């Protein structure tokens, strides 16, 4: 069911002003000596009513156009149940090792990780996701965004050693905290994937733990290969997250499937009103009537002469 409304209804007050002005603001008519006055008066009498009506219709049509008539087609309340997630991905030199995928021995750990993460991202339809890639240093590849397609494309450009060959796990988590600390979501998580021990971070682990607790951010750590299990367990436990360890591609697939079952928090929905603007109809009508009025006046003036 369509509803017609006006965005600026107060504009209709101009009609009152126009009526008052037409009553009290009449200009004095000039006096002319016109030959054949009887003929002119007859012509004037026949067209006066039409011009008068056109004049008022033009004004009313223009005021209706200014009031911006709209047709309400539909109103949608979009509610998103989601969480804010930072995917922190290790791109250090050790991620170039082969053999992690039993079905394809020539596939590197990093290629397997990219493939699984690209499959994971579209499943989180209602979630804000950011991308961090780390090695010797840390790079934010994508801020929090709902654009899953763009993020999958960004991952295609990741490569081993893109930000160095060492491993800065704590620094990558600190950068992730920076992304999430201003988030309004009730649930904020970091999913860290690494295959090595931290040998490049400048930020102490204790400071990181305090930051995670302060901003109520959970960390889900995923370790593959030879890793510092004690550190990953501590980060996950102290942040009320969970630690996982994968020894093959199948393990990693199952881990991301488990993470995909995380609880979801309610994000305030947006109200979307679908409307069609109709102002051009009265505007077009006013233009047509203005042309007719002008032609009529010119015709009467020529006939009078």
**166 three-class SS:** coil
Closest Cα partner for 198 from 244, 248, 234? 234
| Structural contact between residues 71 and 278, judged by C-beta atoms closer than 8 angstroms | yes
Taking the whole predicted model, whether its pTM rises above 0.75 is answered as: no
Instruction: Give the chain's domains with CATH numbers.
Output: 3-68+279-304 (no CATH), 78-268 (3.40.50.410)
Q: Which residues touch 94 (CB under 8 Å, ≥6 apart)?
A: 109, 167, 195, 196, 225
**243 three-class SS:** strand
For residues 302 and 305, give the distance between their C-alpha atoms in angstroms, rounded to a whole number. 5
Per-residue pLDDT of the chain (305 residues; tens, 9 = 90+): 457 788 888 888 888 887 788 777 765 555 555 555 454 455 555 566 777 787 888 888 888 888 888 887 666 555 556 799 999 999 999 999 999 999 999 999 999 999 999 999 999 988 999 999 999 999 999 999 989 999 999 999 999 999 999 999 999 999 999 999 998 888 999 999 999 899 999 999 999 999 999 999 999 999 998 888 999 999 999 999 999 999 999 999 999 999 988 766 555 555 666 677 788 888 888 888 888 877 766 665 555 55
């Amino acid at each position: 069911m369509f509803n017609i409304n006006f965005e600026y209804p107060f504009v209709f007050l101009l009609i009152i002003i126009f009526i008052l002005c037409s009553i009290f603001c009449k200009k004095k008519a000039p006096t002319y000596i016109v030959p054949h006055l009887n003929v002119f008066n007859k012509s004037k009498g026949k067209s006066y009513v039409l011009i008068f009506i056109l004049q008022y219709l033009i004004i009313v049509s223009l005021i209706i156009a200014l009031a911006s008539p709209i047709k309400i087609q539909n109103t949608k309340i979009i509610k998103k149940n989601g969480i804010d997630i930072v995917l922190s991905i290790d791109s250090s030199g050790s991620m170039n090792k082969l053999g992690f995928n039993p079905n394809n021995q020539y596939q590197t750990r990093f290629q397997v990780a990219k493939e699984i993460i690209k499959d994971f991202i579209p499943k989180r339809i209602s979630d804000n996701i950011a991308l961090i890639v780390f090695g010797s240093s840390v790079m934010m590849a994508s801020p929090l965004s709902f654009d899953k397609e763009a993020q999958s494309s960004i991952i295609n450009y990741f490569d081993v050693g893109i930000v160095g060959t060492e491993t800065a796990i704590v620094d990558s988590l600190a950068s992730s905290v920076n992304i999430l600390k201003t988030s309004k979501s009730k649930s904020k998580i970091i999913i860290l994937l690494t295959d090595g021990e931290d040998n490049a971070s400048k930020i102490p682990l204790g400071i990181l733990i305090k930051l995670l607790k302060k901003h109520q951010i959970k960390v889900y750590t995923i370790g593959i290969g030879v890793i510092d299990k004690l550190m990953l367990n501590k980060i996950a436990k102290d942040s009320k997250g969970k630690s996982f360890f994968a020894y093959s591609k199948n393990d990693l697939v199952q881990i991301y499937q488990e993470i995909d079952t995380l609880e979801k928090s309610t994000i305030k929905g947006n109200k979307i009103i679908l409307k069609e603007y109709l102002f051009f109809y009265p505007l077009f009508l006013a233009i047509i009537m203005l042309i007719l009025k002008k032609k009529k006046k010119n015709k009467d003036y020529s006939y009078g002469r």
